[in-house]
Amino acid sequence: MSILNILRYPDPRLHKVAKPVAVFDERLKKLAADMAETMYDAPGVGLAATQVDVHEQLIVIDVSETHDQLQVFINPEIVWESEERQVYDEGCLSVPGIYDGVERPAKVRARAFDLEGKQFEVEADGLLAVCIQHEMDHLKGKVFVEYLSPLKRNRIKTKLLKEERELAKQRKTADAR
């Protein structure tokens, strides 16, 4: 297994729309395993293939305290959502250190395929419902900061670009030694 590179907002590749998975093979299983390892290492509770620059409809999620309940969703779709809505403070591995409230349906039912190509459905509320919706947004090329005001979004973009420049400068200094 490998730790994959997570794209950081505002990388334009985060806005590519993922294509449905057509072949359920060993490559897909390895990608899911690498994504899970990357998510746990980050640490996070969800990761979409888009975030690791693979534009296929695959997400991994584990909202358990013990990090031993990995769920893999391939070609996921929301088949039902509650009228009740909730605001949840969301963060994102592609937008490190930033958390803000996003309003979403409080409960959802999602349909997807597992790694063997078998279809399943899951009903979710709380953190799992938020995570499913958040990761599915990535597959559509949407990052959670797009739910925020343009002012907040621009501040986040500026902050992350500044951090990226500082990191690049530190790497350059370290390489020169």
Enumerate the known binding-site residues for Fe cation.
Answer: 92, 134, 138
- CA–CA dist 18, 141 (Å, integer): 7
Q: Which residues of 2-26 are buried (b: 16+ CB within 10 A; e: fewer)?
A: eebebbbbbeeebebebeebeeeee
Tokens 């090329």, located at residue: 141
Residues involved in catalysis: 135
Which candidate, 73, 101, 68, 75, places its Cα nearest to that of 86?
101
SS3 77: strand
